Amino acid sequence: PQRTLVLVKPDGVRRGHVGEVLRRIEAKGYTLVAVELRHADEALLAEHYAEHAGKPFVGALVDFMRSGPVLAAVVEGHRVIEGFRSLAGATDPTVAAPGTIRGDLARDWGTKLIENVVHGSDGEESAAREIALWFPAL
């Protein structure tokens, strides 16, 4: 079966949404393969967000991702990459549909950076790359 990398971002951890995010993943029937609370360093995050390198928000994004612990998880299941992105909802918390993680738990605080509670890999290639980066032993 397919695997994806899920992160509960520092806003989600701070606001106590770790259990809720894991609950939704398990309720959907996906399997948790690895779960770890991590303090990500700059090098890891620069690699994680390599595809955004040079974009105006990437510096603030990396700072935000270092502002507290993140929960990193490898999640497994048939079509889980697409399935988790569907659970997560749209990137913009205001637009994300109610019923989704972002629609229910994230909101737009009017800051420049989008704080949206979770990350999920966006394709098979990035999933493989991100899992190897966050969980090299897997």
The contact set with ligand ATP (CB under 6 A) reads 57, 61, 91, 113-114, 116, 119-120, 122
Among residues 17, 52, 78, 119, which one is catalytic? 119
Closer residue to ligand ATP, CB minimum distance, 97 or 137: 97
From the CB of 10, what's the least distance to ligand ATP, in Å? 11
**What does 6-18 look like in DSSP terms, one character per residue?**
EEE-HHHHHTT-H
Q: Which of 71, 81, 73 is nearest to 1 (CA)?
A: 81
Q: Which is nearer to ligand ATP, 99 or 137 (CB)?
A: 99
Residue number with CB closer to ligand ATP (44 or 114): 114
DSSP 100-116: BHHHHH----S-SS---
> Which residues on neighbouring strands pair with residue 70, listed in sequence order?
38
Q: Is 119 a catalytic residue?
A: yes
> Do the annotations mark residue 64 as ligand-binding?
no
Phi, psi of 71 (to 5 degrees): -95, 120
Q: Which residues are catalytic?
A: 119
Sequence ranges of the binding site for ATP: 9, 57, 85, 91, 102, 116
